[in-house]
Chain A
Amino acid sequence: QVQLQESGPGLVKPSETLSLTCNVSGASVSSKTYYWSWLRQPPGKGLEWIGYIYYGGITSYNPSLKSRVTISSASSKNQFSLQLTSVTAADTAVYYCAGLFHGHFDYWGQGTPVTASS
């Protein structure tokens, strides 16, 4: 059973960088099976795909966030990470990591709330 768990600060100051990590168990972040993804959900709103990282370090990002996003992985720790720079209040959301398989998100972390505020 694949399990994911997000971790990171719950509060980020405007203009600073949001950094989150997702620990994966039950699957390898280095495998060719899953695309390891980040999504977010602002309070009371819908879901937004942020991007993914795949085998060999291949990444893809949502164009709406591409200039500010970096997703990386650490195979020795079986985890992957999200960095979002220059945050504003609009980046306040619950952030989810997920395992993407053939385009659909099969496995999800529980989500971690992040507030961008001074």
Chain B
Amino acid sequence: DIQVTQSPSSLSASVGDRVTITCRATHDISSSLAWYQQTPGKAPKLVLYAASRLQSGVPYRFSGSGSGTDYALTINSLQPEDFATYYCQQYYSLPYTFGQGTKLEL
């Protein structure tokens, strides 16, 4: 299985800040990476796929980058609704696997 490791596991920030969350895979996943946002008691919501493609309806302050084994999610100008837990997911090979999550706190 391909393992994906996120860092940091938690992050404190303020409204208006820029933050970056990273995800490292144990093998080259050729940009087959998605990012999800989850708020308490809710299902995850797809934010980005193919490492850098914004899902329809997601604000442009979200962006993704990376290649090979290393990827990042950046949120510019944090808004109150962005404080949530973020997960990366590789879909290069089965079984699909997720990072352990990064909790973004105010």
- A84-108 residues at the B interface, CB under 8 angstroms: 96, 102-106, 108
What is the size, in residues, of chain B's interface with A at 8 Å between Cβ atoms? Answer: 23
- With an 8 A cutoff between CB atoms, is A60 at the interface? yes
Is there an interface contact between A49 and B97, defined as CB atoms closer than 8 Å? yes
Is the pair B98, A103 in contact by a Cβ cutoff of 8 Å?
Answer: no
A117 within 8 A of B: no
Stretch at the interface among B19-27, B39-47, B74-82: B39-47
B contact patch SS: loop
Whether A111 pairs with B43 at a CB distance below 8 angstroms is yes
Residues from 41 to 65 in A contacting B, C-beta threshold 8 Å: 46-49, 60, 62-64
Residue positions of A touching B, CB distance < 8 A:
46-49, 60, 62-64, 96, 102-106, 108-111
> Which A-B residue pairs are the 8 nearest by beta carbons?
A103-B91, A108-B43, A104-B34, A49-B96, A104-B49, A62-B95, A47-B98, A46-B100
